[in-house]
Amino acid sequence: MIGTRHTIWKRPVARRGFVDGEYQDGELRGCTFIAGKRGMGKTTEMGRLLSACSGGVIFFDALSRHDSVLKGYKIVSQPGELENYLRANAGRRFRVLYQPRSGSLEQHFQAVCTVVRAFGWMIFGIDELDMLCGPQWGDSRMCPEFYHLVNYGRHCRVSMLATARRPMSVARGFTSQCLEMRLFGMTERTDLRYFEDYIGKDDASRLATLDKYQFLHWSGDGPAKLCGGRR
Ligand SMILES: Nc1ncnc2c1ncn2[C@@H]1O[C@H](COP(=O)(O)OP(=O)(O)OP(=O)(O)O)[C@@H](O)[C@H]1O
Ligand SMILES: [Mg+2]
């Protein structure tokens, strides 16, 4: 493992670095999916996870409306501006909120994915990933630039997390690569069935009973843990 280590109660804990073949920062490693009905707290949880990162973070704000939520982020709206900012800040603890305020959302996303891949060593967060997936990209339902990050991002030390309300509208190629999921309340039967494949029938049935702001944290080792809740 390459990276920094902090000692907590004499037990070494990997905080940031290349761990088990994936770039890790804070609680994030590999691909993470955050799903659940509207207003359940997905973006807030994503902001919390990113705030615990000690290295670079880019948050792709598809709706361009989260500047009041993500305080202290550098707002960038063009890929060239992003590239210049990263040239000056690569290797540091940077926080970028990318807001594609004008022009084609898809072209912005493709350009940002290309820049993320070129610089590497960062966490790439995508809010409302469903807006960026679709049949226009063929069977993969992802643009080639994002497809590359999903499948080979670990080679350029990029880990990702993304939110969406419903799993069906996100490329299965993304969810299939997720090491972790944070699943907020949902009741739609097709959504529950979708997650059964990943988290099992028992945990999937718990999703329909969650209170607002609660979520199940699934990481593939045993039953999902109940987390969150009203502050
Ligand atoms: N644990 C919490 N306790 C109390 N309020 C919360 C909690 N988490 C989020 N909120 C508040 O709930 C509202 C919705 O949160 P958030 O925007 O994160 O939801 P969302 O699931 O991303 O919604 P959308 O699907 O519309 O994107 C916000 O006003 C936020 O401040
Ligand atoms: Mg949201």
* Model confidence band, residue 40 (pLDDT cutoffs 50, 70, 90): very high
**CB 47 near ligand 1, within 6 Å:** no
Break the chain into its structural domains and give their ranges. Answer: 2-228
**What pLDDT, in 10s, does the model give residues 80-128?**
999 999 999 998 999 999 999 999 999 999 999 999 999 999 999 999 9
Angular region, 157: left φ>0, alpha ψ -120 to 50, beta rest? left
Expressed in angstroms, the distance from the first to the final Cα of the chain is 36
pLDDT for res 203: 95
CATH architecture of the domain 2-228 equals 3-Layer(aba) Sandwich (3.40)
Per the DSSP assignment, residues forming a β-bridge with 123 are 57, 159
CB–CB of 156/8 below 8 Å? no
Residue nearest to ligand 1 atom 23, measured at CA: 39
pLDDT for res 14: 52
Counting ligands in written order, which one lies closest to the CA of residue 48? 1
**CB 213 near ligand 1, within 6 Å:** yes
**CB 43 near ligand 1, within 6 Å:** yes
Distance (Å, whole) CA 98 – CA 93: 16
Q: Ligand 1 pocket test: which of 44, 63, 68 has the largest number of ligand atoms within 8 Å of its C-beta?
A: 44
Q: Ligand 2: distance of its center to the CA of 7 in Å?
A: 34
What is the number of the ligand 1 atom nearest to the C-alpha of 184?
21
Residue nearest to ligand 1 atom 8, measured at CA: 41
pLDDT for res 5: 43
Determine if the pTM surpasses 0.75: yes
